[in-house]
Structure 1
Amino acid sequence: MTATLTILAITIILFVNGRIRADIVALCALAAMLLLGILTPEEALAGFSSTVVIMMVGLFVVGGAILQTGLAKAASQKIMKLAAGSDIRMFLLVVTVTAVIGAFISNTGTVALMMPIVVSMAAQANMRPGRLLMPLAFASSLGGMLTLIGTPPNLVIQQALTGAGYQPLGFFSFFPVGIICIIIGIIVMMPLTKLFLYKKKGKATGKAGGGKTLDELVDEYQLSNGLRRYMVKEQSGVRNKTVAELNLRGRYGLSIIEIRSESTDRSGLIRNVRQSLAGPDSILSAGDIIYLMGDTAVMDNFAKSNGLKRLDNNNMDFYDIGIAEIVLIPTSRLIGTMLKNSGFRERYDINVLGIKRSGNYIMTGLPEEKLMSGDVLLVQGKWSNISRLDEQETDWVVLGQPEEQARQVTLNYRAPLAAVIMVAMVAMMVFDFIPVAPVTAVIVAGLLMVLCGCFRNVEAAYKTINWESIVLIAAMMPMSVALEKTGTSAMISHSLVSSLGSMSPTVLLAGIYFTTSLLTMFISNTATAVLMAPIAMTSAIEIGASPYPFLFAVTLGASMCFASPFSTPPNALVMHAGEYTFSDYVKVGLPLQIVMGVVMTFVLPLLFPF
């Protein structure tokens, strides 16, 4: 017992100190318990196979797909429209919407669903995501108190009541308690988050990788002015011809910079898009959309004579193919070389769309243009090829970070498909008549997001997983086993309850709440509820009081744990994205946890008399 308490104390000190990463601290604590024989290897590694941890991995992937397809941005825009530019309204909407969703699905699933939406909202509002992510995590736990299925501890006390022969709780028996929790949460969190989280410095959210955004590049080089889109029709003269056969550059001074084909399924909801750069051997087919650059009058004449259909929208959507800037350094071997002899197309499959030189923009006659030191070239190609420019050459420097820019590009044509997968996942988690376990629903949803093309590639899906949070939770879970195995949990619980039992029921109620709350900071809320429910039941019977308020104190103490990042999965899920430290949770969560306990000590006897 002494060794376990010592490891726990050192772990907490290191968490608070923050100099060592939280996941490394958790792994060190786990290793120490293994070396001292407190835990067997099977017990120590059980957290890594926990359904909660596996769900977190899958939910990171699902959340990443919601971001990648632009679904989060669309939802956040609707919420921001309701907020009408007010930080307070935005805060209230995030907390309210999250709490309502959290009443019907797990708090972990709620946070995974809402987190990409909130991050997108923060980016659009030029606000640090951390201002809203901690309230999001806390609101998911607050909303869990609205219904019987909102959080596992609710089901634990239901089982304790029915097992002892008492009247079971109804689906909405928790509703009054949940409403009061949400009101308290809003009142306490609003000033605390603004005081401790709002001004904290964080990463910039406005631009990808610190470089210019794609839209800024399009505007700067005025690509839209010399860019038009045409569709190849069945009767078009260019149909079934190669780009080389057309010789557009030689005959008309035009360039095909991209060929795109789009199709929809029978429902009209799911759209498929394929992009490719126009090589000499590229064959144009009916239905293809070609992006032409050059003189607009010449383009229109060419289109008219060849039966091409002009498309009104000339905006470029960036999916697999993007644009970036590179600058030639003074020692570049390309200086003095004509662009047509530069080898960009042949070696990297890259188009050069324009040159910026001494503040001037050269957009025509590019093949014959001689390159000079300091020239900034606007290049277009597959994101992977643009990244190769940065990796394999010393003749230029790529401005910005293509990989980061590629992650910012939304595959919006996949948004309806992502929405269908997400709704199906939520339905499987909510409705009991669907015989699928929640963890299975999450795994299937994550796989479908990858297989159905909601990510650019599998690597992009893996990059959405925050392994620091995963390892933190998985490594801390065995701590609960150690505390129970050594008798530490039982000793703390029994000593506190026995010392308070001789006092008034209100004092005993407060003792049960705060004992549960304290234990939940170090072991899972479900394990704490299982441990404390029979103690609360026995204590109530011994003093001749109704067990209902005492058992509600257990589920509240277990669910309303906000002062630690590893007490609940939602707290851990937002830690990395919000750039939080352990002390941030203490500053905001501990006051909320204490206020909640004090208020509920007096409210519970009013709702459920002794």
Structure 2
Amino acid sequence: MQVAVVLTLLTVTLVVLPLEIVSVDVAALTAVLVLIVAGVISPQQAFASFGTEMMVLLASIFIIAGALLRTGVLDTIGVLLYRHCGGSYKTLLASITLVVSIVSAFMNNTVVTAVFVPVVLAVARRFGMPSSKLLMPVAYASMLGGCCTLIGTSTNMASSNFLVRRGMPPFGMFELLPVGLALVGVGFVFFVLFGRRLLPERGMGDLTKDYHVKEFLTEVALRPGCPFIGRRIDEAGMQERAEVTVLGIMRDRERRLAPEGHEILLTHDVLLLKAGVEGIQKLRQTPGVEAKADVVLRDANLVSDNVRLVEVMIGPASRFLGRTLKEIDFRRRYGLTALAIHRQGEELVERVGKIPLAVGDILLVQGPEGRLNNLRAAGNVLILSDFSHFLFDRKKGALVGTFFLVAIGLIALGISPPGPAILAAAVMSVLVRALPSEEAYRLVDWRLLMLIGAMTAFGQAMVNTGADRFLADLILEATRPFGVRAILAGFFVLTVGLTQPLSNAAAALAVLPIAVATAESMHADPRAFAVVVTLAASASFLTPLEPSCVIVYPAGRYRFFDFVRVGGPLTLLVMVVVLSLVPMIWRL
């Protein structure tokens, strides 16, 4: 009876999680509460995983990554890439794949992707390359690099924690390295030789052209008798009267871009405006407003030495989610102007201020260079397309980097377990004020930690009731004639399938109990089965639903099938490598 309860609840949970009817962590925790009430697991068993070393380790990694990002260390790595690639697409692609893979071996892959996307977009713009030719490799390289070490992905740490709960040794810091390096090598060769031909070409023109803003840019001159003359921009009433935004002023042959609201308008000022057809018509009916004819405007007309035109991406943790730019008071508060929004392949140019913002939205923003860092810090957004906002706090960055490298060294030499060493590096980063303690708590993905803890409790419930053995016997009965490698292949395919709608960690923790029980029933090495499932969970290349892919999906102007076309062959290659090497390293 309890087996049926566990399997039914697991099935319902796996269906509910990708639908996000409720938050994934809330759904998983609710299922755990049901298991407790049903007497399947005790409260001690249900909550034991929430206080493990691996949870502390994972939280610490988020904090260190945030400190390296805030001090500009990770940005600097990306800028060095730009300086040394020489403008060659093939060289840049190879460099990006290797560097992102190396960094991702020691950082959460989602954080690494978020860091490198702005740099890669800026490089693509500078060299006139399609961003779509570079961004997908960034996401995939971050996932492959995460396969190299224990701390490379949350999935590796979650799987290691599961092994400990089953009475087995945890994964060593570099236990997965031989297979991980092979996967990085396969990914490198794939993209340099074959994958680049499968990548689409999108996103290489002027930003104003890509966003279809050019048709909404115009110039008007203020002649004697105009009611706007002598008034401040924010008091002139142009926005209210015609939904017109002032992007610049030409005065005495001097161009002033991104003017402040307190700027006084004078006779014969020529205003650079963003407005719709109706807005222009309304302005033309205003006395003293002379619309310029046959004006062709592009990116160069909107930028200067200190004013930039950049893309701003709304992330999953942004404070702007669900709010409109008008509600945020975006222009007054941040001194920046949003010209358009790119959302799911569509450019929204009119009435931008009244559109509630969603995850993945990219804003085309014009404004002073100095305001961009304020926006990134305050709104938790990604600033794309430009190098100018990158900062480097040399002293604090060096300290954080040193703390992290020392921690890795202590773990590698066997002097300290991973948890205490990485936690010490995180605490020291806060103590040297590389980031405020309040921000350190915000950096931790608590939803992910709750999800991992809840799914680990599910694994314990399967062991308590024998549900894992029940499913293992079914699998063995169906696949025994095909041999151990065929069974491993089946678990690989099952895990990859589950990673598309679920998080990688959730998929791995759902499959691991069954895989380990199957190995024990076959008298095979359960660790080998656990490694296959863990690595398969990182092979989430087929859809843009994995967090790293979610970041590059809108930024690269990708379509859903682009991931199938590129990710399909890569998934097969990864599967071949894993199924070839794992039985050799972990004897079956």
TM-score range, shorter chain: 0.5 to 0.7
Determine the structure 2 residue equivalent to 1:319. Answer: none
Distance 2:172 2:29 in 1: 42
Indicate whether 1:135 and 2:137 are aligned: yes
Q: 2:493 aligns with which of 514, 517, 522?
A: 514
Aligned pair 1:123/2:129, yes or no? Answer: no
Q: CA deviation at 1:585?
A: 5.1
2:318 aligned partner: none
User: Residues 170, 423 of structure 1: CA spacing in aligned structure 2 closer, same or farther, 3 A cutoff?
Assistant: closer
Which residue of the partner structure matches residue 520 of structure 2? 538
Alignment length, in residue pairs? Answer: 439
Say which SS state the counterpart of residue 91 (structure 1) adopts: helix
Cα gap change, 1:497 to 1:584, in 2 (>3 Å):
farther
TM-score by structure 2 length? 0.53
2:253 corresponds to: 360
Match of 1:495 in 2: 474
Q: Distance in 2 between matches of 1:204 and 1:135?
A: 23
Deviations 1:261-308, CA, capped at 9 Å, x for gaps: xxxxxxxxxxxxxxxxxxxxxxxxxxxxxxxxxxxxxxxxxxxxxxxx
C-alpha contact 1:160 1:533 (8 A) present in aligned 2:
no
The answer on 1:101 being equivalent to 2:103 is yes
Aligned counterparts of 2:197 and 2:548: Cα–Cα separation in 1 = 22
Q: CA deviation at 1:416?
A: 1.0
How far residue 508 of structure 1 moved from its aligned partner, in angstroms, is 2.7
Q: Give distance in 2, aligned partners of 1:51 and 1:330.
A: 68
Identity %, equivalent residues: 21
Q: Residue 538 of structure 1 aligns to which amino acid in structure 2?
A: E
With 88-97 and 27-36 compared, the bigger mean Cα shift is at 27-36
Are residues 1:65 and 2:70 paired?
yes
Aligned-CA RMSD value? 6.1
Are 2:135 and 2:552, in contact at CA under 8 Å, matched by a contact in 1?
Answer: yes
Q: Using a 3 Å threshold, how does the CA distance of structure 1 residues 504 and 425 change in structure 2: closer, same or farther?
A: same
- In structure 2, the partner of 1:335 is 229
Q: Deviations over 1:89-140 (max 9, x none)?
A: 222212212323344x24x0x6535642442132132156565444334323
1:371 counterpart = 2:266: yes
Shift of 1:3: 6.2
The reply on whether 1:407 has 2:372 as its aligned counterpart is yes
Q: State the partner residue of 2:11.
A: 5
Judge conservation of contact 1:328–1:372 (CA < 8 Å) in 2. Answer: yes
| Whole-Å separation in 2 of the counterparts to 1:8 and 1:560 | 19
* Distance (Å, rounded) in 1 between the aligned partners of 2:335 and 2:148: 53
The amino acid across from 1:371 in the alignment is L
Q: Which runs of 5+ in 1 are unaligned?
A: 15-23, 213-324, 343-353, 364-368, 392-398, 453-457
For residues 146 and 194 of structure 2, what CA distance do their matches in structure 1 show? 22
CA distance in 2, matches of 1:480, 1:130: 37
Contact 1:537 1:551 in 2 (8 A): no
Partner of 2:183: 181
Question: Corresponding residue for 1:595?
Answer: 573
CA contact (8 A) 1:26 1:472 kept: no
Q: Deviations over 1:308-350 (max 9, x none)?
A: xxxxxxxxxxxxxxxxx99979887662699xxx9xxxxxxxx
Residue 121 of structure 1 aligns to a residue whose secondary structure is helix
- 2: CA distance, partners of 1:96 / 1:411: 25
CA shift for structure 1 position 372: 0.7
Contact 1:202 1:579 in 2 (8 A): no
Residues 479, 329 of structure 1: alpha-carbon distance in 2 compared, 3 angstrom cutoff: farther
TM-score relative to the length of structure 1: 0.52
Could you say if the C-alpha distance between residues 564 and 62 of structure 1 is closer, same or farther in structure 2, counting changes exceeding 3 Å? farther
| Kept after mapping to 2: 8 A contact 1:476/1:566 | no
Q: 1:516 to 1:428 in 2, by over 3 A?
A: farther
Question: Residues 333 and 564 of structure 1: is their aligned pair in 2 closer, same or farther, counting only changes over 3 Å?
Answer: same
Q: Is the Cα–Cα contact under 8 Å of residues 563 and 586 in structure 1 kept in the other structure?
A: yes
Q: Does 1:27 align with 2:23?
A: yes
Where 1:356 maps in the other structure, the secondary structure is: strand
Contact 2:141 2:187 in 1 (8 A): yes
Q: d(CA) in 1 for partners of 2:88 and 2:305?
A: 39
The answer for the alignment partner of 1:286 in structure 2 is none
> What's 2:80 paired with?
78
Output the amino acid matched with 2:229: I
Pairing 1:183-582 to 2, within 5 Å after superposition = 183-189=185-191, 194=196, 198-200=200-202, 335=229, 356-357=250-251, 360-361=253-254, 371-376=266-271, 387=332, 401-402=366-367, 406-407=371-372, 410=388, 414-424=392-402, 426-427=404-405, 429-430=407-408, 431-432=410-411, 436=420, 438=422, 441-442=425-426, 445=429, 448-450=433-435, 478=454, 485=461, 492-520=471-499, 522=502, 523-524=505-506, 527=509, 531=513, 534-535=516-517, 537-541=519-523, 549-563=528-542
CA–CA separation in structure 2 for the residues paired with 1:30 and 1:136: 31
In 2: Cα distance, 1:582 partner to 1:441 partner: 39
User: What is the one-letter code of the residue matched to 1:402?
Assistant: G
Q: Give secondary structure in 2 for the equivalent of 1:402.
A: strand
Tell me, yes or no, if the aligned pair for 2:528 and 2:587 is still in contact at 8 Å. yes
Q: Deviations over 1:422-463 (max 9, x none)?
A: 4145336524357746467457647834459xxxxx9xx89x
CA contact (8 A) 2:124 2:204 kept: no
Identify the residue that residue 286 of structure 2 maps to in structure 1: none
Distance verdict in 2 for CA 1:130–1:449, change over 3 Å:
farther
**Partner Cα distance (2:450, 2:168) in 1:** 36
CA contact (8 A) 2:144 2:184 kept: yes
1:85 is paired with a residue of what secondary structure? Answer: coil
Q: Is the 8 A contact 1:510 1:598 kept in 2?
A: no
User: Structure 2: any 5+ residue segments left out of the alignment?
Assistant: 1-6, 38-42, 237-247, 257-263, 273-302, 309-328, 337-363, 374-386
What displacement does 1:420 show? Answer: 1.9
**Closer, same or farther: CA 60–547 of 1 in aligned 2, 3 Å:** closer
C-alpha change, 1:76 and 1:485, in structure 2 (3 Å) is same
Indicate the SS of the match to 1:95: helix
Displacement of 1:600 in angstroms is: 3.3
Q: Which moved more, 1:379-388 or 1:190-199?
A: 379-388
Q: 1:595 Cα shift?
A: 3.3
Measure how far apart 1:511 and its partner are.
2.8
